[in-house]
Amino acid sequence: MSLRLDWCSHAAAKYAVQHWHYSQSLPTPPLVRIGVWEDERFIGCVLFSRGANNNIGKTYGLGSTEVAELTRIALAAHDAPVSRVIRFALKLLRQGSPGLRLIVSYADPSHSHHGGVYQASGWLYLGQSKPSVEYIAPDGKQWHGRMVSASGHKLVYGRTRSVWRHDQCQPVSVPGKHKYALPLDSAMRTQIALLAQPYPKRATSIVADAPAIHAGEGGSTPTVALQNADGAVVVDGW
């Protein structure tokens, strides 16, 4: 059995998220898109971005190019542990972004996630955010409050985007998300360690805490436009 991670196209990432992630939507760009293959069969992607919060690194004294958010792990049925997939995705990310010092990610209790894959990968737990209100749009998708507005427009990273209006959506209360962080250098680890808390209760298994898999099968169709193939991470016989 071989595992390969490589840069993938927008089309491949969109296919994976729509079929194998509970959100069924891509996060706000810009994105770093990393595809995942087992025995040369496309099984999904790992996506990194700046996150929904424009000041994601401010709390830690970091600029926008020093911190990233792991925003999607969209995988079909697979054999490799998710923690191993994340580890090699981070290796690729760091090759292309040498200035990164911190990665953050969130586990959503409303989807029965507690962050088991991050615990298995040695990430630090930074606590649970406060409950919030999200919005179910007419198309059935649920959006964070930052992605809905009274006017139907939002300024996102310097560009005006059309979004759903509050009066078009149904508000729902959601529990706070579990926040995890992975420092990438010793100084940052020392800083973040001061904020670390005990891990929340794990799900029944690492697999149970992985992102939900939606109907669909992998294959060659969404993998046409690969980029930077020479930088691929290949792990044989993992």
The model carries a pTM of 0.76
User: Which residues pair with residue 153 across a beta bridge?
Assistant: 162
Rounded Cα–Cα distance for residues 14 and 151 (Å): 27
Rounded Cα–Cα distance for residues 228 and 42 (Å): 17
Residue ranges of the chain with per-residue pLDDT less than 50: 203-230, 237-238
The pLDDT value recorded for residue 29 is 85
The pLDDT value recorded for residue 205 is 41
Rounded Cα–Cα distance for residues 164 and 186 (Å): 42
- Candidates 154, 150, 48, 149; CA nearest to 105 is 48
Q: Which two tokens stand for residue 174?
A: 């959601």
Q: Which two tokens stand for residue 200?
A: 């929340």
User: Which residues pair with residue 74 across a beta bridge?
Assistant: 45
Domains and CATH numbers, the chain: 2-130+177-236 (3.40.630.30), 132-174 (no CATH)
The pLDDT value recorded for residue 134 is 87
The pLDDT value recorded for residue 155 is 81
User: Average per-residue pLDDT in the chain?
Assistant: 84
Give pLDDT tens digits for 27-73.
888 899 999 999 999 999 999 998 767 778 999 999 989 999 999 99
R_g over Cα of the chain: 18
